[in-house]
Amino acid sequence: MKKVYNILGIILSIALLWSCSSDFIDKDPKTSISNEKALSTYDKLVLATNGLYAPLLDRSLYGESSILAPDVMADNVVLSSVKASGRYIQEFNLTMGSNDGPSDGVYSMGYYIICAACNVINAIEANKFDRQGATDAQVNQLLGEALFIRAMVHFDLCRWFAYPYHFTDTKLAPGADGAGGHPGIPVVLTTEIGKPARSSVHKVYEQVISDLKRAADLMTEKKVCFWASSEVAKALLARVYLYQGNNQDAATMATEVIGSHRYELTPAADFVKYWALEGQKETIFELQSNKTDDYFYGGNNNPGGVYLYYGDLVAANELATSYEEGDVRAKLVVLNKDGEYTVNKYPGREGTGNVEINNPHILRLAEMYLIRAEANQKNNSQIGDTPLNDVNAVRAKRGLSGLRVVDGSTIASERRKELAFEGHRWFDLSRNGQGNVRPGCKATPLVTWPDKRFVLPIPLYEMKNNGNMVQNIGY
């Protein structure tokens, strides 16, 4: 049975670690969260910071829900009519309640990671640890990584539990003024005991952007893509600005990442194999998945197992047949013997022989080109390059000829095909104010914009234990 916690319970559980033994520091640092002793020296802060990454692979986050649910809830993925398992029915039909679906796990694990990141941030900023000869740059790198993770999880939670930044329907979200005035999520910056209320979406974005800007400035190490770096923070900042509708800064940040020349788009000939490899040049940030990690979710219940072992989720026909002749991305949606399209974006990391073990690609260079194209098109600008050139840059590496003209619809279509099955589609529909059409599906799951189902309910356990919490209208 899944364990779920309210924010108060999470803070208490994190706080208890301050008086526990530090046995965990002898483990692989990627599988451990900090306690008091781990914050007393620079070396232990390194272990604590490293320990912030693995929980992102929990089944509630990028180990399952954050990858699968946004595509199941939208129009990229459907339930197999042949290999029906009874799973993901609530997500597909958009009938999630406050005590089921992705809601509870996403919320509790998200705040668990935020609190752990806060421990690292607060300890470094208090400056009472033994530096052991570490330079300011080395300490700042740790602070930047923790700030990045805190920002990333706050942003993800806001995408799930709050309407988009520019929302204006006050019947669904009191205070919605088109500028983030409606309820967001609690912004947690310390692990103090308390019952935090929801901040406005504007305040959430303000904190996320502040953390990411600081992180980008603080991190100077050119780390490989399994760890945060200045470019990783800027890439996420480009995504955040796009969601906020700040198209000028979105294009500017994407341009900085592209212009760093640290990354390259994968050639068409290597694109299918790219998904079985780690540390590739196109990847800006990915999470290393290992079966021995504490947060590894096995039993073929992760994306690779769901798509390839069980096969109970398949690509929607409308998406699978939308790829042009010669588009290498079409090879990732394979027509199977049952007449359905198997998703092959999680084939198992090379050398593991196991479809369960895949590294989720959180940020890729292709997304930066598409963010810049969309932002410039919406802003009627050419920051860094033209929307046409950016779209064609991606198309050229996918085996396609260039287009002569692009508009918003063209860019959205390219984004959908490029980022399919990576956990973007539901949020793209929401932030662009689009309903969920699902061609070929029954009418019941169809959702027009706006609708309460575009946000998840605050979990029941949080509502019961936090008197300052306000539920999303309709739940």
Task: Report d(CA 400, CA 402) in Å as an integer.
Answer: 7
Measure the N-to-C terminal CA separation of the chain; round to a whole number of Å: 24
351 neighbors 359 (Cβ within 8 angstroms): no
Instruction: Tell me the HSE value of 349 on the side-chain side, using a 13 A CA sphere.
Output: 17
Q: What is the dihedral of CA 66, 376, 228, 153, to 10 degrees?
A: -40
- Per the DSSP assignment, residues forming a β-bridge with 314 are 78
- Per the DSSP assignment, residues forming a β-bridge with 77 are 315
Tens-place pLDDT, residues 229-272: 999 999 999 999 999 999 999 999 999 999 999 999 999 999 99
Based on the number of CB atoms within 10 Å of its own CB, is 177 exposed (0-12), middle (13-18) or buried (19 or more)? middle
Q: Which residue has the tokens 């020349």?
A: 261
Tens-place pLDDT, residues 22-80: 332 233 334 344 455 669 999 999 999 999 999 999 999 999 999 999 999 999 999 99
pLDDT band per the 50, 70, 90 thresholds, residue 321: very high
459 neighbors 107 (Cβ within 8 angstroms): yes
Note the pLDDT of residue 445.
66
Q: Which amino acid is at 51?
A: G
- Per the DSSP assignment, residues forming a β-bridge with 200 are 183
Note the pLDDT of residue 38.
66
Task: Report d(CA 282, CA 262) in Å as an integer.
Answer: 9
Note the pLDDT of residue 214.
98
Task: Report d(CA 28, CA 211) in Å as an integer.
Answer: 27
Q: What does the DSSP assignment read for 345-400?
A: S----TTT--TT----EEEEHHHHHHHHHHHHHHHT--SSS-HHHHHHHHHHTTT-
- Per the DSSP assignment, residues forming a β-bridge with 341 are 315, 335
Q: Residue 335: enclosing H or E segment and its boundaries?
A: strand 333-335
CA distances from 409 to 109, 377, 416, 434, 466 (A): 36, 10, 11, 12, 43
Q: Which amino acid is at 444?
A: T
Is residue 211 over pLDDT 60?
yes
173 neighbors 167 (Cβ within 8 angstroms): yes
Q: Any long-range contacts for 82-85 (C-beta under 8 Å, 24+ apart)? A: 82/311, 82/338, 82/340, 83/310, 83/311, 83/312, 83/338, 84/312, 85/310, 85/312
Note the pLDDT of residue 20.
35
pTM over 0.85: yes
33 neighbors 48 (Cβ within 8 angstroms): yes
Task: Report d(CA 54, CA 48) in Å as an integer.
Answer: 11
275 neighbors 347 (Cβ within 8 angstroms): yes
Task: Report d(CA 43, CA 32) in Å as an integer.
Answer: 14
Is residue 155 over pLDDT 70?
yes
CA distances from 15 to 8, 12, 124, 176 (A): 10, 5, 17, 35
pLDDT band per the 50, 70, 90 thresholds, residue 1: very low
Is residue 298 over pLDDT 50?
yes
Give which of 337, 304, 327, 343 is closest to 425, Cα–Cα. 343
274 neighbors 41 (Cβ within 8 angstroms): no
Tens-place pLDDT, residues 343-399: 999 999 999 999 999 999 999 999 999 999 999 999 999 999 999 999 999 999 999
Question: Could you count the other beta carbons within 10 Å of the beta carbon of residue 320?
Answer: 20
